[in-house]
Structure 1
């Protein structure tokens, strides 16, 4: 509800795969090894596209910063691309590059191809349907830039997966890893209904949910979330981080309101077991389109998100 994990883990993600699916802990993306058979991919894709389009200003600034590290890559790979919104942004940022959107979902990659076609990028845009991390071996060439937004935390052994990412970089290639940041904020501390501090309790519930999600991944290995330290541990150099904000103050545009509603809806489904009855009742009021204190009508609704990008070089 606040943190969006990118990736589609029967969690909801993300935001993101998007770049993200559903909750993106700390936008969205990545598919680990999950059973996708129960998903309505059109619904997932609509959600991910709306999320990524809202976060486009943040991702553009992040990509511009990464470009100071790798100004003219020949091959850019978006690892866990989802429906390709950020992949296409990367193609804009790096007009001389070939861009490959890599994801475990064929339906989402179809969306990515269609978007690239609409934006006139098809001649230098490709897709690769593959599960992480093994599918990186299917890349024809090493990547000059690899962008991995919230896909890593859906893989059981994150260190081993990072090592696989690093292995597929060209000499002097750059890995940009989007993980962490801060829980997103949508409402003030006291919203006039329920107990004050709802968002902090939602964050605590999401932390518990996230720990259980991590532990349930196949081959899950506990790992200290020191991302620059992990990038260094797998043999990359010059690791550093920078955080980018999405700041949409009240009154928000309708797209931001719709995003907030979708985040609370997903959170309501994911976190019900972690919240007490009074907080669930408050969330239900917030989601009620007819309740004047709900998200559909509130004038104090805002979107404030902070995503951290960690970069390192081979």
Structure 2
């Protein structure tokens, strides 16, 4: 929420284009301030989202209405608009400034005529949709909602008969560096990931009215009355040497770790992170040849039944 917090088992957990929360919940996250990082990450991951959309199009070839719940700045909503040229796309999010960016992007990409935004808290704002939804996409937005099962039930309720709900949650922690980078103690990223997982748990616990839920996403999709639940994982594999954009994204991720997790790291790991972020240091992320991006995002998908529900 993302896309965006100090938690997450992976980079994007905590930011990701997924934030749809109320601004009075966890620690008043300022999504708009995170917009550049959220946007850069989603742009980098666009090939993964495009492959996921192509896979979804086999299940849902001609959706009339596609909704991105927790759309953030709209990068993925625009990928969906391109993948489904016959669809109307609605980007729904709690942050007005992020939706403004989404509208500007749709305009730039020439899809504004079939793109609209819906501002308000999930899942309640979905009551404002005028039509049933053929394809519902929720990318790392669900985990910011206090009652995930109730939110899923609300999503499912908005589906057209035969409509598809696609939930991006889970996957693997992203990796950007080898285990031993020649400075500090080997295994830095695994330790950062452990702290991130703890912070993620704390973030969930601090949500007002939080309901604990086993993260069996296909099981939850079935529990809210959907059928044929299955999962598929998509890889983003950007080997070294990285493009300038990809390297800048990795720098932004480590800056995010520094800002949000720094107080939970030991002194030696903090010193390593500081060296990695120092543009003057030849072992930093700005100069080292061994920086890469390897990430796996899992999509859980299920359908509403046809006929009288």
The two structures share one fold, judged by TM-score above 0.5: yes
Match of 2:22 among 14, 33, 38: 33
Match of 1:252 in 2: 242
TM-score normalised per structure 2: 0.93
Is the alpha carbon distance of 1:198 and 1:13 closer, same or farther for their aligned partners in structure 2, counting shifts above 3 Å? closer
Give the Cα–Cα distance (whole angstroms) in 2 for the partners of residues 111 and 131 of structure 1: 18
Match of 1:176 among 162, 166, 169: 166
- Deviation string 1:149-207 (CA, Å, 9 cap, x unpaired) is 00000011111111111111111110000000000000001000000111111111111
Runs of at least 4 residues of structure 1 off by over 6 A?
A: 10-14
Match of 2:265 in 1: 275
Whether contact under 8 Å (1:91, 1:97) holds in the other structure is yes
CA shift, 1:8, in A, is 4.5
Match of 1:77 in 2: 67
Match of 1:23 among 11, 14, 23: 14
CA shift, 1:228, in A, is 0.3
Whether contact under 8 Å (1:12, 1:270) holds in the other structure is no
TM-score normalised per structure 1: 0.92
- Deviation string 1:215-246 (CA, Å, 9 cap, x unpaired) is 01111111111100010011111000000000
Match of 1:292 in 2: 282
Is the alpha carbon distance of 1:77 and 1:14 closer, same or farther for their aligned partners in structure 2, counting shifts above 3 Å? farther
Please, which runs of 5 or more residues in structure 2 have no aligned partner? 305-309
- Deviation string 1:62-114 (CA, Å, 9 cap, x unpaired) is 11111111010000001111111111110111111100010111111111111
The alignment status of 1:311 with 2:301, answered yes or no, reads: yes
Whether contact under 8 Å (1:63, 1:90) holds in the other structure is yes
Give the Cα–Cα distance (whole angstroms) in 1 for the partners of residues 96 and 108 of structure 2: 18
Count of residue correspondences: 302
The alignment status of 1:132 with 2:122, answered yes or no, reads: yes
Whether contact under 8 Å (2:62, 2:84) holds in the other structure is yes
Please, which runs of 5 or more residues in structure 1 have no aligned partner? 17-21
